[in-house]
């Protein structure tokens, strides 16, 4: 799972932006969840099956994983799921103006690559700039979900999110049937098999941001 790709490579700057929603989903007006760094998308297949009244979009930088997910999708009858290949940062930067405001109802960052060395921290997917852009297409009171088995990375993400002053901690997520944290991701199953600790938190977008 941790075969790292350098997200800052020029290669990822020339990819296409995310297509309009009516090209991705049968009903583009449903609430939308975006999973950033979705790998093979197993979490999203489960969520899309369980919640047919939501749309799900996975963004993943490793092309082979996206091609596999798209092939699996082709042989399913799901019309509320889509996968996009690219660096989430560039994909969202290039697409944000084309998306209606208040479009995204929830976003997840599950077990992002930790990039342990300080000089590589800028390669971490969750950066203040990405968070700011994503927040602009999120509804007021939209939810943001994070999970990691690396405490240092979890603390970093928590400080970026709270430091933005756009989100506040939210602790009632388990009541929400759509809650993606109720389903274990691929990396999470691996972490459990190795008895690693798992850190998670839900945040809610504050009003007037």
How far are the Cα atoms of 12, 72, 86 from residue 63, in angstroms, in the given order?
11, 14, 8
Select the span of 14-22, 97-105, 182-190, 198-206 touching ligand SAM (CB under 6 A). Answer: 182-190
Which of 51, 55, 82, 87 binds ligand SAM (CB under 6 A)? It is 87
- Binding to ligand SAM by CB under 6 A, coded x per residue (else -) over 53-72, reads ------xxxx--x-------
Interacting span for ligand SAM (CB under 6 A) from 36-44, 98-106, 132-140, 162-170: 36-44
Nearest approach, Cβ of residue 184 and ligand SAM (Å): 9
Contact indicator for 155, 161 with CB cutoff of 8 Å? no
Decide if 130 contacts 165 (C-beta within 8 A): no
Q: At what angle do helices 42-50 and 63-74 cross, to 10 degrees?
A: 30
The 8-class DSSP code of residue 147 comes to E
Residue 125 interacting with ligand SAM (CB under 6 A): yes
Torsion angles phi and psi, residue 186, rounded to 5? -60, -45
Query: Exactly one of 187, 203, 204, 205 binds ligand SAM (CB under 6 A); which one?
Result: 187
CB-closest chain residue to ligand SAM:
37
- d(CA 101, CA 5) in angstroms, rounded, equals 31
Is residue 88 at the binding interface for ligand SAM, with CB under 6 A as the rule? Answer: yes
Residue 75 is encoded by which pair of tokens? Answer: 């042989």
Alpha-carbon radius of gyration of the chain: 16
Count of residues in contact with ligand SAM, rule CB under 6 A: 25
Q: Collapsing DSSP states into helix, strand and coil, what is residue 146? A: strand
Closer CB to ligand SAM, 98 or 122, in the complex: 122
Applying CB under 6 A, among 51, 82, 110, 181 the residue interacting with ligand SAM is 110
Measured N-to-C along each axis, helices 128-136 and 88-95 cross at an angle, to the nearest 10 degrees, of 40
The yes-or-no answer on residue 113 being catalytic is yes
Find out whether 53 and 76 touch, Cβ atoms under 8 Å: no
Angle at 48 between CA 42 and CA 17, to 5 degrees: 80
Does position 51 interact with ligand SAM (CB under 6 A)? The reply is: no
Answer yes or no whether residue 149 interacts with ligand SAM by CB under 6 A. no
The catalytically annotated residue of 22, 113, 132, 141 is 113
Interacting stretch for ligand SAM, rule CB under 6 A, among 67-75, 134-142, 151-159, 179-187?
179-187
Q: Would you please indicate which residues are annotated as catalytic (active-site) residues?
A: 113
**Which residues bind to ligand SAM, rule: CB under 6 A?**
1-2, 5, 7, 36-39, 59-62, 65, 87-89, 110-113, 125, 185-188
């Amino acid at each position: 799972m941790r075969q790292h790709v350098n997200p800052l490579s020029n290669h990822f700057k020339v990819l296409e932006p995310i297509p309009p929603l009516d090209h991705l989903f049968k009903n583009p007006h449903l609430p939308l969840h975006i999973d950033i760094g979705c790998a093979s998308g197993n979490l999203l297949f489960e969520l899309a099956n369980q919640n047919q009244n939501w749309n799900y979009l996975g963004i993943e930088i490793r092309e082979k994983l996206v091609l596999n997910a798209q092939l699996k999708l082709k042989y399913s009858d799901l019309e509320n799921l889509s996968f996009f290949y690219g660096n989430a940062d560039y994909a969202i930067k290039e697409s944000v103006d084309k998306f209606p405001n208040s479009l995204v109802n929830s976003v997840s960052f599950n077990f992002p690559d930790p990039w342990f060395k300080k000089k590589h921290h800028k390669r971490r997917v969750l950066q203040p700039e990405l968070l700011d852009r994503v927040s602009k297409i999120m509804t007021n009171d939209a939810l943001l979900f994070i999970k990691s088995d690396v405490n240092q990375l979890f603390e970093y993400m928590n400080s970026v999110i709270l430091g933005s002053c756009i989100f506040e901690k939210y602790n009632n997520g388990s009541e929400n049937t759509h809650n993606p944290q109720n389903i274990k991701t691929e990396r999470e199953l691996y972490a459990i098999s190795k008895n690693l600790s798992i850190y998670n938190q839900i945040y809610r977008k504050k009003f007037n941001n």
